Structure 1
């Protein structure tokens, strides 16, 4: 009984006798005498990885020439990563210990091995190929094994490998291997930054509870030094601002704080400058934004201020009354010895009276008006 098998040009097949491998069949028509119907065919596509690795291992061990003729074998060690190319186009990033087997004949397969013990950063030319995988005509698989770190302008990147600070990264893009290590990049803003310490409940020395809000501006002077000595520089700065604020408020009375709010800024600035010396952080300015008093304390202070202002008002009123009385006495003394001054005062009085009258009828002349309206007896 004659049996025919057809293998397409983009396929390869294995001829099986009772399920056991006989040989590899290339593209074309193949005829075999099979009276007992023992022959069968297993077919694979040339553009897909070879999945039957057991067959490949058999050929490598027993028919190495056949394996070399039909397969491209890619194997990576535990300390190696790989970049797989198809027809010189990067298509896959292979993890350590990976194994790929491809058919020869349709696509040109190439593997570039990378020794992970030598470097943790990809070469710039390789990194440039995978920075924008979505813009490529064919996506690159296996990118989870890479860390693409982009440092924007006015920033620096702190590179940590396995928890240890390695170096600073300038603005730009770099790509790192994540296999066999923990790689992290922390972005650091080199510009002047704001930090607010809000809602701090502190007792003054006279046991008055105050709520304060503080604002500070700061910047890095030495990023590597700050991250070498401090696990979290910003958190450390925040705590020191808290401690400085408590030291400034807790040792002073409410009256002293309200009388001179600037003393809080000065004490906190001195405390922070002393504590952060040698840590690569510089604080430019510190200021208290708000001092919030309890409700009952607000009422008491309002009454105190009201009483103080009322007392000041009484003092001013008494002083003005005394001055007015003294001025009247001086005027009387002048008019007593000077008839002309007395007459001028009479005319001034007449003018004031006339301002309040719409119409005046005069009988007997101006002297009669003056004598009738103003009468000042001599002593």
Structure 2
């Protein structure tokens, strides 16, 4: 018939009669006569808020003296954000509309409120606090409603609120409230960048399929204008490079492209610069990295090149033969007019023949050799 409850120093207890609140039990031993088993006791930890939200609302309305004696109310309006401190340490960010009761006693609770109507940017000192959880024994919770944007060097951040571009963020860390709005930050590298358009299969004017890879270097000259006019500037530039490349290749024959590959670069950069003018994106240079032909076309071109080189070699051979014939004709004219030269030529010929054989048989004397029959019998 007697109930005995021990409440520890780091606890409080709620005495309930048939489920209805009676009073708060402080540390110590509680005894109560309960022959019909109507009393119950709920033990609560001092470092946790009151778990029964409906009981909390009842205490706020009908037992304000209990609230002021035992609790620290942390109630926020729909336009407020709360910073909850325990022993002067930030431990939690409370969302708008939060209503909690924290026990007094073991921990010094404190609440700071921030009005969301004053702006969606976090104070810089608060950003610094939220950045250093490793230096503390307890990390800050409730950060789902906070966006911390880290902008590295040589970059800027494009701040968008509900899909609208607001402003640029300089390198560093900035914080923004997400409650009631969609906040995002796109990082933009302001340095010179490279973009490659690879694997483009395009038909030339004479219906030959080419596979090309195009490389372009570009940079932002006005980031706000680029993101204000284009949803995704890089994707838009990629498509413009594709269209310009197809236009440059599709309006020319294979022979024209092979004779002057630079015409593709000049045509593409001229078209892309005209289309990207006023968008805040500057295209510095464009170049074709490689051109790949189909297998059968490679064979045909190899045969054409081989035939061209063979024809060139034949022309050179004929030219040399003509020159040699002309030289022989000139020599013959000299010998015809000068018998001594003819005789010297004959002796030179005989000398060359003698170098190739071991024995010469001469019949009829030297005159017969020079003027008649020469019989050579190698041994």
- Give the TM bin, normalised by the shorter chain: 0.7 to 0.9
Check 1:143–1:318 CA distance in 2 against 1; reply closer, same or farther (3 A cut): same
Alignment match, 1:368 = none
Query: Is residue 2:259 matched to residue 1:251?
Result: no
Provide Cα deviations, 1:281-300, integer angstroms capped at 9, x if missing partner: 11111111222223333232
Q: 2-side partners of 1:271 and 1:329: how far apart?
A: 62
Q: 1-side partners of 2:341 and 2:50: how far apart?
A: 131
Q: 2-side partners of 1:330 and 1:284: how far apart?
A: 64
Query: Is residue 2:266 matched to residue 1:266?
Result: yes
Alignment match, 2:218 = 218
Q: 1-side partners of 2:276 and 2:39: how far apart?
A: 82
Alignment match, 1:68 = 68
Q: How far does residue 85 in structure 1 lie from its aligned partner after superposition? A: 0.7
Q: 2-side partners of 1:310 and 1:37: how far apart?
A: 115
Q: 2-side partners of 1:142 and 1:155: how far apart?
A: 29
SS at 1:181 equivalent: coil
Check 1:353–1:110 CA distance in 2 against 1; reply closer, same or farther (3 A cut): farther
Alignment match, 1:198 = 198
Q: How far does residue 335 in structure 1 lie from its aligned partner after superposition? A: 5.5
Q: How far does residue 144 in structure 1 lie from its aligned partner after superposition? A: 1.8
Q: Which moved more, 1:15-24 or 1:137-146?
A: 15-24
Alignment match, 2:125 = 125
Check 1:268–1:342 CA distance in 2 against 1; reply closer, same or farther (3 A cut): farther
Query: Is residue 2:103 matched to residue 1:109?
Result: no
Q: 1-side partners of 2:327 and 2:92: how far apart?
A: 104
Q: How far does residue 41 in structure 1 lie from its aligned partner after superposition? A: 3.1
User: Equivalent residues in 2 for 1:165-244 (5 A)?
Assistant: 165-244=165-244
Q: How far does residue 186 in structure 1 lie from its aligned partner after superposition? A: 0.8
Q: Runs of 5+ in structure 2 lacking a partner? A: 361-365, 373-379
Provide Cα deviations, 1:157-178, integer angstroms capped at 9, x if missing partner: 1111110001111111112212
Alignment match, 1:298 = 298
Alignment match, 1:161 = 161
User: Equivalent residues in 2 for 1:340-355 (5 A)?
Assistant: 343=344, 346=347, 350=351, 354=355
Q: Which moved more, 1:219-228 or 1:51-60?
A: 51-60
Provide Cα deviations, 1:178-206, integer angstroms capped at 9, x if missing partner: 21111111111111111111222222222
Provide Cα deviations, 1:23-73, integer angstroms capped at 9, x if missing partner: 222223445566766554332111111112333332322221221111111
When normalised by structure 2's length, the TM-score is 0.86
SS at 2:277 equivalent: coil
Q: Which moved more, 1:78-87 or 1:195-204?
A: 195-204
Check 1:331–1:11 CA distance in 2 against 1; reply closer, same or farther (3 A cut): same
Q: How far does residue 344 in structure 1 lie from its aligned partner after superposition? A: 8.7
Q: 2-side partners of 1:143 and 1:348: how far apart?
A: 106
Q: Which moved more, 1:244-253 or 1:315-324?
A: 244-253
Q: 2-side partners of 1:331 and 1:287: how far apart?
A: 58
Check 1:309–1:46 CA distance in 2 against 1; reply closer, same or farther (3 A cut): same
Alignment match, 1:91 = 91
Q: 2-side partners of 1:185 and 1:376: how far apart?
A: 106
Q: 2-side partners of 1:2 and 1:221: how far apart?
A: 83
When normalised by structure 1's length, the TM-score is 0.86
Alignment match, 1:6 = 6
Q: 2-side partners of 1:2 and 1:119: how far apart?
A: 59
Q: How far does residue 83 in structure 1 lie from its aligned partner after superposition? A: 1.4
Check 1:81–1:318 CA distance in 2 against 1; reply closer, same or farther (3 A cut): same
Q: 2-side partners of 1:27 and 1:73: how far apart?
A: 21
Q: How far does residue 347 in structure 1 lie from its aligned partner after superposition? A: 6.1
Q: How far does residue 208 in structure 1 lie from its aligned partner after superposition? A: 2.3
SS at 1:111 equivalent: strand
Q: How far does residue 233 in structure 1 lie from its aligned partner after superposition? A: 0.7
SS at 2:118 equivalent: coil
Q: CA RMSD in A?
A: 3.1
Instruction: Judge conservation of contact 2:346–2:370 (CA < 8 Å) in 1.
Output: no
Q: How far does residue 348 in structure 1 lie from its aligned partner after superposition? A: 9.1
Check 1:33–1:347 CA distance in 2 against 1; reply closer, same or farther (3 A cut): same
Q: Runs of 5+ in structure 1 lacking a partner? A: 363-370
Q: How far does residue 342 in structure 1 lie from its aligned partner after superposition? A: 6.3
Q: 2-side partners of 1:76 and 1:43: how far apart?
A: 26
